[in-house]
Amino acid sequence: MEEKQTEISSLGEFGLIDRLTEGVELCNASSLKGVGDDCAVLEYKDTEVLVSTDMLVEGIHFDLTYVPLKHLGYKAAVVNFSDIYAMNGHPRQITVSLAVSKRFTVEHMEALYSGIRLACEIYGVDLVGGDTTSSRSGLVISVTCIGDAPKERIAYRSGAKNTDLICVSGDLGSAYMGLQLLEREKVASAGQKDFQPQFQGKEYLVERQLKPEARRDVIENLEKAGIVPTSMMDISDGLSSELLHICKASGVGCRVYEDRIPIDYQTALMAEELNMNLVTAAMNGGEDYELLFTVPLHAHDEIKKIPGVRVIGHITDAGLGCAMITRDGNEMEIRAQGWNPLAE
Amino acid sequence: MEEKQTEISSLGEFGLIDRLTEGVELCNASSLKGVGDDCAVLEYKDTEVLVSTDMLVEGIHFDLTYVPLKHLGYKAAVVNFSDIYAMNGHPRQITVSLAVSKRFTVEHMEALYSGIRLACEIYGVDLVGGDTTSSRSGLVISVTCIGDAPKERIAYRSGAKNTDLICVSGDLGSAYMGLQLLEREKVASAGQKDFQPQFQGKEYLVERQLKPEARRDVIENLEKAGIVPTSMMDISDGLSSELLHICKASGVGCRVYEDRIPIDYQTALMAEELNMNLVTAAMNGGEDYELLFTVPLHAHDEIKKIPGVRVIGHITDAGLGCAMITRDGNEMEIRAQGWNPLAE
């Protein structure tokens, strides 16, 4: 049975916003006033303010054939939280702007918002504003996230120093493999009614692609351990691309070890099944939303105690360039092969 | 001669961002770090932080047949500044996210950015971040503006009180008439080569539509006069719609006088030429980006001294509803007929 679908135009812009933000409560002390005026009003007396923004476009960043709207909302919020964590801060507020075409109903928007609101609830972030309008075709989501960090704890890309340890959280390449799997099943399903996609044993990959998490736990554990990373980024375009960003911004080089790159078992199996190079997928896959950061050498023992964090190499002089040491001991120059959203 | 056009994909995302933000300098003390990291870093120790966001979609909010990209960039920035002024604050930073289809070149993006950067320069705002990606069709611009205001000066929609004076800056309906004019000339030009649109004597209307300004001067003059509005909004959807917002949020009613609604001479001529109701255009036209605000009765003499501000009526008890007193002394209930971006 089809669920009831309500045309958005029947509610109007303000009616829709009222419905989508009904019952939204503010949980952060810095959120003085949320949705319902010309601006949100925030208060940040003792910390710096971090601002990050991301735009997701249907047909470019997501495919609604296999991405449920609730997951999309969750992901749109979480990837922005990840940018704030990547500065060693905490996300506190988001604004959400949407452009929607006529094929979307009020119920679709509610599904999208339920994901956004779930992410906000889990990560302790307030939804404080936004804009909702029409588009001629497809769905566009623009999220801006505001967060905070004490000045002395902010981790820029530019602070990595010679001999610093290079650390990565979680594992890499799984979101990319999840995407390959989803695309494969989409092709297989074309034209078939009642098609059942084959995800058994690969649930982790699908989840990493559709419903990524941001690494708040790592930020909290770094804080508890009294460690301030000398540099940090989140891995959205792929480890290679982000390593080069940090090295360029910091004026340094790096060595990472192939056998230290964290890769999940399911990712490895999937790469084999698809006959793809596993290390290439892990280095360049993107959308991992894990943290890449550097710490001084003396933090080694403390870093080893943080769950899910692995040391994958070290920073060198700029003159040595950026290279990976392969399993057989060769040096391979690191090149950015990350996804280019403008080459689509 | 056609100017040189460069494909965006030839630069890539980071190359394009470098080119568009080349030479951007930060002028506000609150802007610690702009473009080039995961987040912008801001510092707001002594004031509240205001955040506003707006999305503009090609084919819905603008028509590139007659809107030059530089003007579009200028307008996209200014309408966000206007939201911050509407809280009685000052805009300090913006982030700009773009989704662009393949028909746009690097030179197009430079034209758009030149307008954004000009607006930032004129209003003293820093461009601190953004996102640039592809779209399947058309151009989408999402701007988030961050500003500040001392807590005791913030003007919400909800503070209007019985007997307060209702004030409006500038004149109303001219941007709407400019849009009608542009649409008329677009229709007239269809299929004609070397068509010359007829704008003589109507330049003001075209400028109000294509290149609106935000009323920083009014905010500065209110401050100098020591007046804090009891409520304030900017007029983007039309005076009727905004009056109803303020009255609803404040739990009050209002009376405004038809003969006090500020209307420019060119607007009146154009309405006659197009056989449109002038007061309807002024009350419901939208996109004026003027300020609507209320002040206590005792501020009357001070308000009269502020250039470009006119008292158009007063706040009443909620029980009296919202009405306009027509020239012939009748009461006409105010209804929102503002533009609904979701009914397109």
Distance separating alpha carbons of residues B228 and B88, to the nearest angstrom: 8
Amino acid symbol at B89? G
Domain-embedded: residue A4: no
Name the E strands within chain B. Answer: 31-33, 40-43, 48-57, 90-100, 126-134, 140-149, 165-169, 231-235, 253-257, 290-295, 309-316, 322-325, 331-333
- pLDDT in the model for residue A339: 54
Q: What is the DSSP string of B61-126?
A: TB-TTT--HHHHHHHHHHHHHHHHHTTT-EEEEEEEEEEE-TT-BHHHHHHHHHHHHHHHHHHT-E
Name the residue facing A57 among B95, B99, B144 (closest C-beta).
B99
- Do residues B171 and B126 both lie within one domain? no
Distance separating alpha carbons of residues A131 and B52, to the nearest angstrom: 9
Q: Find out whether A173 and A263 touch, Cβ atoms under 8 Å.
A: yes
Distance separating alpha carbons of residues A160 and A255, to the nearest angstrom: 13
- pLDDT in the model for residue A343: 53
Torsion, Cα A173 A178 A179 A185, to 10 degrees, reads 150
CA distance B270 to chain A (A): 29
Mean pLDDT calculated for residue range A233-245: 95
Distance separating alpha carbons of residues B16 and B18, to the nearest angstrom: 5
B82 φ, ψ to 5°?
A: -60, -40
Higher pLDDT, B11 or A31: A31
Using alpha carbons, select from B200, B149, B122 the residue that is nearest to residue B44.
B149
Q: What angle do CA B177, B141, B63 make, to 5 degrees?
A: 35
- Do residues B147 and B171 both lie within one domain? no
Q: What percent of chain B has pLDDT over 90?
A: 82
Mean pLDDT calculated for residue range B314-338: 93
Q: Find out whether B157 and A37 touch, Cβ atoms under 8 Å.
A: yes
Residue A251 in 3-state DSSP?
A: coil
Name the residue facing A48 among B32, B58, B157 (closest C-beta).
B32
- pLDDT in the model for residue B338: 56
Helix A216-224 vs helix A69-85: crossing angle, to nearest 10: 30
Q: Find out whether A45 and A36 touch, Cβ atoms under 8 Å.
A: no
- Do residues B210 and B242 both lie within one domain? yes
The yes-or-no verdict on residue B189 having pLDDT over 70 is yes
pLDDT band at B344 (very low <50, low <70, confident <90, very high): very low
- pLDDT in the model for residue A1: 44
**Domain boundary at A153, A181, A199, which?**
A153
* Contact residues, chain B, for A53 at CB < 8 Å: 95, 97, 129-131, 142, 144
The yes-or-no verdict on residue B195 having pLDDT over 90 is no
Residue of B nearest to A40 (CA): B51
A136 with B135: Cβ contact below 8 A = no
Q: Residues B208-222: pLDDT tens digits?
A: 999 999 999 999 999
Using alpha carbons, select from B296, B323, B293 the residue that is nearest to residue B219.
B293
CB pairs under 8 A between A and B: 233
Distance separating alpha carbons of residues B153 and B137, to the nearest angstrom: 43
Contacts of B305 (CB under 8 A, 6+ apart): B225
Higher pLDDT, B8 or B230: B230
CA distance B189 to chain A (A): 23
Structural domain including A36 reads 10-153
- Do residues A119 and A247 both lie within one domain? no
CA distance A154 to chain B (A): 9
Q: What CATH code is carried by the domain that includes residue B240?
A: 3.90.650.10
Distance separating alpha carbons of residues B61 and B128, to the nearest angstrom: 24
Distance separating alpha carbons of residues B322 and B246, to the nearest angstrom: 11
Helix A12-20 vs helix A106-123: crossing angle, to nearest 10: 40
Q: What are the structure tokens assigned to A175, written together?
A: 């979101």
Residue A36 φ/ψ region, left for φ over 0, alpha for ψ in the -120 to 50 degree band, beta for the rest:
left
The owner of tokens 């080893």 is A304
Residue A55 in 3-state DSSP?
A: strand
Domain-embedded: residue B170: yes
- Do residues A281 and A173 both lie within one domain? yes
Name the residue facing A234 among B38, B44, B86 (closest C-beta).
B38
- Do residues A120 and A261 both lie within one domain? no
Among A53, A127, A289, pick the best mutation site for testing chain B contact (most B Cβ within 10 A).
A53
Residue of A nearest to B95 (CA): A53
A38 with B87: Cβ contact below 8 A = yes
pLDDT band at A2 (very low <50, low <70, confident <90, very high): low
* Contact residues, chain A, for B12 at CB < 8 Å: 340, 342-343
Torsion, Cα A275 A280 A285 A291, to 10 degrees, reads 140
* Contact residues, chain B, for A146 at CB < 8 Å: 49, 51
Q: Residues B280-297: pLDDT tens digits?
A: 999 999 899 999 999 999
Q: Residues B165-185: pLDDT tens digits?
A: 999 999 999 999 999 999 999
Among A14, A35, A47, A49, pick the best mutation site for testing chain B contact (most B Cβ within 10 A).
A49
Name the residue facing B9 among A95, A132, A343 (closest C-beta).
A343
DSSP state of B2: P
Please compute, for residue A249, the number of CA atoms within 13 A of its CA located in the half-sphere on the CB side.
Answer: 21
A37 with B129: Cβ contact below 8 A = no
- pLDDT in the model for residue B1: 44
Torsion, Cα B241 B242 B245 B249, to 10 degrees, reads -170
Amino acid symbol at A122? I
Report the predicted TM-score, pTM, of the whole model to 2 decimal places: 0.93
Q: What are the structure tokens assigned to B79, written together?
A: 């309408």
* Contact residues, chain B, for A129 at CB < 8 Å: 51-53
Mean pLDDT calculated for residue range B266-277: 95
pLDDT band at B343 (very low <50, low <70, confident <90, very high): low
The yes-or-no verdict on residue B342 having pLDDT over 70 is no
Largest CA distance in chain B: 65
B55 with A131: Cβ contact below 8 A = yes
Domain-embedded: residue B21: yes
Domain-embedded: residue B339: no
CA distance B110 to chain A (A): 16
Contacts of B22 (CB under 8 A, 6+ apart): none
The owner of tokens 């080569």 is B193
Residue of A nearest to B343 (CA): A9
Q: How many structural domains is chain A composed of?
A: 2
B97 φ, ψ to 5°?
A: -110, 135
DSSP alpha helices (H): ranges in chain A?
A: 12-20, 69-85, 106-123, 174-189, 203-210, 216-224, 239-250, 265-273, 278-284, 300-304
Mean pLDDT calculated for residue range A25-39: 92
Using alpha carbons, select from A316, A298, A294, A300 the residue that is nearest to residue A160.
A294
Domain-embedded: residue B343: no
Burial of A242 (0-12, 13-18, 19+ CB in 10 A): buried
A83 with B39: Cβ contact below 8 A = yes
pLDDT band at B2 (very low <50, low <70, confident <90, very high): low
Higher pLDDT, B2 or A32: A32
pLDDT band at B266 (very low <50, low <70, confident <90, very high): very high
Name the residue facing A13 among B59, B95, B340 (closest C-beta).
B340
* Contact residues, chain B, for A343 at CB < 8 Å: 9, 12
- Do residues B299 and B165 both lie within one domain? yes
Distance separating alpha carbons of residues B305 and A57, to the nearest angstrom: 49
- Do residues A126 and A166 both lie within one domain? no
- pLDDT in the model for residue B15: 85
- Do residues B162 and B225 both lie within one domain? yes
B49 with A57: Cβ contact below 8 A = no
Residue of A nearest to B231 (CA): A37
Name the residue facing A51 among B39, B54, B342 (closest C-beta).
B39
Distance separating alpha carbons of residues B78 and A315, to the nearest angstrom: 44
Distance separating alpha carbons of residues A313 and A316, to the nearest angstrom: 10
* Contact residues, chain B, for A233 at CB < 8 Å: 38
Domain-embedded: residue B302: yes
- pLDDT in the model for residue B10: 86
Higher pLDDT, B179 or B2: B179
Q: Residues A50-89: pLDDT tens digits?
A: 999 999 999 999 999 989 999 999 999 999 999 999 999 9
**Which strand (E) or helix (H) includes residue A146?**
strand A140-149
**Domain boundary at A153, A187, A219, which?**
A153
Distance separating alpha carbons of residues B286 and B242, to the nearest angstrom: 10
B233 φ, ψ to 5°?
A: -150, 160
Domain-embedded: residue A344: no
- pLDDT in the model for residue A320: 97
Burial A82-117, CB ≥16 within 10 A → b, else e: bbbbbbbbbbbbbbbbbbbbeebbbebbbbbbebbb
- Do residues A63 and A212 both lie within one domain? no
pLDDT band at A137 (very low <50, low <70, confident <90, very high): confident
Helix B69-85 vs helix B106-123: crossing angle, to nearest 10: 30
Burial of B280 (0-12, 13-18, 19+ CB in 10 A): middle
Domain-embedded: residue B142: yes
Neighbouring C-beta atoms of residue B328, cutoff 10 Å: 6
* Contact residues, chain B, for A89 at CB < 8 Å: 39
CA distance A319 to chain B (A): 23
- Do residues A202 and A318 both lie within one domain? yes
- pLDDT in the model for residue A104: 94
Mean pLDDT calculated for residue range A210-232: 97
Distance separating alpha carbons of residues A75 and A95, to the nearest angstrom: 14
Q: Residues B125-157: pLDDT tens digits?
A: 999 998 999 998 899 999 999 999 999 999 999
* Contact residues, chain A, for B154 at CB < 8 Å: 41
Q: What CATH code is carried by the domain that includes residue A76?
A: 3.30.1330.10
Name the residue facing B233 among A38, A49, A57 (closest C-beta).
A38
A270-273, long-range: CB < 8 A, 24+ apart: A270/A177, A270/A180, A270/A181, A270/A202, A270/A205, A271/A173, A271/A177
**Domain boundary at A153, A170, A197, which?**
A153
- Do residues A187 and A325 both lie within one domain? yes
What is the overall mean pLDDT for chain A? 93
